[in-house]
Amino acid sequence: MDISIVGAHNTQFGAFVKRDRETGEVEDLKSFYELIIEAGAGAIADAGLEAKDIDAVWLGSCSPSMFVNQEHVAPLALEIDPDGLLYKPTTRTEGACATSSVAIYNAAYAVASGRFKNVLALGVEKMSLLDTKGVTHALACSSYWPEEGSMGVTFPGLFGELAKAYQAKHGMSDEELRIMFAHIAAQNYRNGIHNPLAHFGPGSLPDKKQLVTADAILDLPDSGKGSNPLIAPPLRLHDCSLISDGAAAVVLTSTENAKANFNHAVELSGIGHVTQRMMMSERKETLHELQAAKHAVQQACTEAGVKVTDMELAEVHDCFTINQMLCAEAMGLSESGRAGYDFMEGKYDTDGSCPINLSGGLKSKGHPVGATGASMHALAYKQLIGDPIGVAAKGQPELAMTVNIGGSGVTNCVSVMRRVK
C-alpha cells in the first residue's frame, strides 16, 4: 500500500524494577506511562515533526489491566505532548503478541482512507511488576481460556505442543531438536549482545557467560545454578523469550507525502493480516506448521509484488525457538522440516542472503508483548534507512519482512517494507 514510515523510536527493553528480597516490595524504575511518552515523543522527533502535526494515535497494549492495573490506555498517548495532541483521536488495539502490528495496520488504513495525514502508532507493555506466576497467568488469558488457560496450560506449554507436533511430523529425536534449538538461541544471543537497546544486550548474561554458540548452551546443566532446565518439554529455559518492559513507535504518512517532505521513507508495500481459529483442539492436524502465517506471507508479498527470496533481512516472532523455525518455513525460506538444519548451517546468520533477527529477536532483544510488533517495524525501518541499531545488515538493503504472531499462531501480521527514500 502507498503508506510509509517516516520516523521511529524504540526504547530500551529490560526489566525496569527493583525488588526487595526481604519485604517483597517492588519499585518501578520506568513506568508504563513513561515508556509511552518516550517512544511516542522519540518517533515524532525522529520524523522531524511536532506533536501538533500528528492527526491521530493508535496505541497497542496487550494486557495493561493485569500488568499495571490500567485500562482505557489510548488517551494516555496525549501525555506525549498534552498541548500538541489535545483533542486528537486515540484508539487502543489488542492482538496478544501482535498487538502493535495491529495498531500500525489500523493507523495505515486510516491514512489510506484520506481521513488523516500524519499518524502515530505505538506499542507498550510493562510486565516486570508482576512475578513469574502473575505474568504466566496474564499471558495465559491470550489463549483459549475454556480449554487452555483455565486448565493450567501456559504459553510455554502451548508452544511445547507445537514443538512435539513438529518433531512427530518430521521424525526428529529429542537430541536432534535440542541441538537445533540451541543453534537458534545462540544466534539470537550473538546478535542481541550487540544491540544497545536489547534486554539481553551488551554486558548481559549471554554476553558474560558467552552463550553465543550452540555448544555453550548445550553444555549447560539441566538443574542448579546457571542451568537450562526443561520448562515445557521439549522447550528449555533458553528456548523461551524474556519477560520485558518497553515501548516502540512509528510515524506513518502517505508515500507521496513521505517522498516530498521527509528525509527518509520506508513503505509498507505489502500487508498480510490473517487470523487462525484460537482453540488448538481445532488445529490438531496442522500444529506442525503456521498455516495462517503462510497465508499472511503470501498476502503481503502479492500486494508488494515481490517474492520472499527478494527479502534482504527479516525480523520474526521467536517467542520460543520452535517458532523461529516455524516462521522460516512459513515464509518459504526453508522447506518444511528443514529450518532447523538451515539454522545449524548458518543460512540466516548475519552474512546470509536474508539474515533473521539481527536485533536479537524476542529471545534476546526482549518481548514486552504489546510493543513487539512496533519494535520489529521500528528496527527494520532503521536498518533500511542505513541507521541500524545493533548488528547492521550487509550492503544497502531495500526490502525487509516482519513476521509478528499473536497467541499460538492465531493473529498473524506480516509486513513487506521497502525503502523508497
139-154 pLDDT, tens digit each: 999 999 999 999 999 9
Q: Which of 295, 317, 367, 377 is catalytic?
A: 367
Which pLDDT belongs to residue 311? 98
350-364 pLDDT, tens digit each: 999 999 999 999 999
How would you classify residue 69: left for phi > 0, otherwise alpha for psi between -120 and 50, otherwise beta?
left
Q: How far apart are CA 159 and CA 407, in angstroms?
A: 10
Mean local confidence (pLDDT), 219-230? 97
91-103 pLDDT, tens digit each: 999 999 999 999 9
Q: Which of 9, 62, 97, 295 is catalytic?
A: 97
Mean local confidence (pLDDT), 275-282? 97
Inform me whether the pLDDT recorded for 31 exceeds 90.
yes
For cell 525487509, name the residue.
400
| Closest C-alpha among 41, 83, 77, 78 to residue 60 | 77
Q: What's the mean per-residue pLDDT of the chain?
A: 98
Please give the C-alpha separations between residue 227 and each of 214, 218, 220, 323, in angstroms, as whole numbers: 14, 10, 5, 22
Q: How far apart are CA 318 and CA 402, in angstroms?
A: 12
Inform me whether the pLDDT recorded for 80 exceeds 90.
yes
In the DSSP assignment, the letter for residue 322 is: H
Please give the C-alpha separations between residue 363 and each of 199, 323, 367, 378, 393, in angstroms, as whole numbers: 9, 11, 7, 17, 19
Quick one: angle between helices 372-384 and 99-112, nearest 10?
60
Q: Is 273 a catalytic residue?
A: no
Which pLDDT belongs to residue 21? 87
CB 406 within 8 A of CB 97: yes
Inform me whether the pLDDT recorded for 54 exceeds 90.
yes
Mean local confidence (pLDDT), 65-85? 98
Which pLDDT belongs to residue 420? 98
Domains of the chain: 3-132+243-256 (3.40.47.10)
Inform me whether the pLDDT recorded for 24 exceeds 90.
no
H or E element, residue 414: strand 411-419
Paired residues of 315 in beta bridges? 402
Which pLDDT belongs to residue 91? 98
Please give the C-alpha separations between residue 118 and each of 21, 126, 280, in angstroms, as whole numbers: 47, 27, 39
For cell 526504547, name the residue.
11
CB 282 within 8 A of CB 255: no
Q: Is 97 a catalytic residue?
A: yes
Q: How far apart are CA 305 and CA 300, in angstroms?
A: 8
Mean local confidence (pLDDT), 316-324? 98
Inform me whether the pLDDT recorded for 288 exceeds 90.
yes
CB 412 within 8 A of CB 379: no
